[in-house]
Structure 1
Amino acid sequence: MSDNDFPTPSEFFLSVAMYKPYKWNDASLDKVLDLTKFTGSIDTYCVECKDRSLFVVQYPHISAVREDFHTKIQKPFICVIEAKCSRVKQHIACYVFRIHQKDGVTKIGQYPSAADAAKQELKNYRKVLTDEHQKGYTKALGLFSYGVGAGSIVYLRKIFEHLVEETYQEARKDEAWMSIHGEAYPTHKMANKLAALENFLPSDLVQHPRLYGFLSQGLHGLSEEECLKLFPMLRLAIEFILSQKLERLNAKQRREELEKLLNSTQT
């Protein structure tokens, strides 16, 4: 693994799947030290507060210098990073890692879980995501947190395809769009569908066709490792679409409220 591929402490806490080992080389050993000596804040969900919060790590797990650490990692050891909620110090977030020179760094436990954090994120999207897909999103994050690549991607793919279909139904109401894309669209692969819907989707989303090439070839052609790498990208793609849908819905509601108020002043 290159130095650039080795996760940061924040990535280890919040996005790295459990039970997946990350090996390091001499160049990235300092990044392992950064994890074990981490002090700072972690922005995540607090189960007790039922909201996002900053959790503060005040005391590093290890204070060893690089040379001493090199000796310590010859045998496996457990590193526990504990952080306190900035709102209520009795509320704790905890991350547990197994570290070994031969096997690498493996996250073997965390609290709150990825599924707990997903519940908070879903609060923002309840207006624009069905109950069925909210449950699927939570299951996907739970599976991913345990290092299940293909299973987690199946749920995300269903959500993504549902959102693209919703966008297509919206585009069909546009006569100009239908005259250009209407006949060919149903036969397109996913990458071409997104290109056809570029005026209806977030621009950042349409600019990365590599992601949709994976989806077009089918999940059966992807290894577990490839699915785990694909997961964060597909998750962000879904959140791009949901954020845009939510923004448009809120804008529509504001316009309707303004129109209602204006009409009330004329009566």
Structure 2
Amino acid sequence: MSEYEVDESNLNENSNEFKKADHSEFVFDFPLYSKIKYINDFSGADILKLQNEHIEGFCNICKRTRIFYCISVKSGMQTLMRQHPNGIVYHQEVGGNISFVRYECSADKDHVIDVIMKLDVAYWQKIGQYPTLADISKAELRKYRSVLTSEYQSELNKAIGLASHGANIGAFVYLRRVFEGLIELRAIEQNMAEMKEFKEARIGEKIDLLKEHLPKIMVDNKKIYGMLSAGVHDYTEDKCGGYLK
């Protein structure tokens, strides 16, 4: 499988986010306009090597993780008819550094993901994708709908949408609100919201008090709240993005 390296200029130099990214991450994790540097002598000229490669990620139609095969890699070069101000009609080739890549779900060939890439001498850049990362992530998170109100489902969707466009600090704000909101909802349901012990407790302590009534992922990862708070107040966009991946 081909490998890529995250562009260092997009990362906080003090973070540990610099890492190799495989083909699956490029499609399913990286937001639009991420620049991915070539490594291992892989270059823009080798775009056709993606043909028949397979990646693994969530299919928003099957609603489960699937294998996807790269079935098509096409150059965006096309000839357009132009008209000069003096009236002369001429043809111009455009889009030679743009490629269109299609991935097909192994379970159903009608389930596809299309990615548009801009190729440069040193990197690839994802400039388009359908279904979007937000579409894929929202489908993957449907399992949490039963524990969230419509208000917090909406805020979770906003976090996903922001993250898919690289607005990672904004995504952290909404994720923290959802995290806090679910705790308050469960406290109200269990008649604990007005208890002095609960009101004076820190977030981690509140989770312990409600551990029988919260999703296991929150109970097992209660330190996530501290990370979300640090993201809102201290982290850069890129450091928040590293955690969101």
Which TM-score band (shorter chain)?
Answer: 0.5 to 0.7
| Counterpart AA for 1:100 | D
CA distance in 1, matches of 2:136, 2:167: 18
Q: Name whichever structure is richer in strand by fraction.
A: 2
CA distance in 1, matches of 2:187, 2:108: 46
Residue number among 224, 228, 238 corresponding to 1:211 in the alignment? 224
Deviates more, 1:137-146 or 1:33-42: 33-42
- 1:35 to partner: Cα distance: 10
Compared CA separation, residues 126 and 205, structure 1 to 2 (3 A): closer
Deviations 1:122-164 (A, max 9, x none): 5433332222222222222122111111222222222111112
TM-score by length of 1: 0.59
Structure 2: 5+ residue runs without aligned partners? 1-7, 9-15, 75-95
Kept in 1, the 8 Å contact 2:169–2:231? The answer is no
Q: Name whichever structure is richer in helix by fraction.
A: 1
CA distance in 1, matches of 2:18, 2:200: 39
The residue number in structure 2 matching 1:225 is 238
Compared CA separation, residues 195 and 20, structure 1 to 2 (3 A): farther
Compared CA separation, residues 218 and 151, structure 1 to 2 (3 A): closer
Compared CA separation, residues 31 and 195, structure 1 to 2 (3 A): farther
Compared CA separation, residues 99 and 198, structure 1 to 2 (3 A): farther
Kept in 2, the 8 Å contact 1:55–1:86? The answer is yes
Compared CA separation, residues 90 and 171, structure 1 to 2 (3 A): closer
Kept in 2, the 8 Å contact 1:191–1:216? The answer is no
Kept in 2, the 8 Å contact 1:51–1:120? The answer is no
Kept in 2, the 8 Å contact 1:190–1:215? The answer is no
SS at 2:101's partner residue? strand
Identity fraction in percent: 28
Is 1:152 matched with 2:168? Answer: no
Deviations 1:83-120 (A, max 9, x none): 23445535532122334354x33321111112322443
Kept in 1, the 8 Å contact 2:32–2:127? The answer is yes
Is 1:11 matched with 2:25? Answer: yes
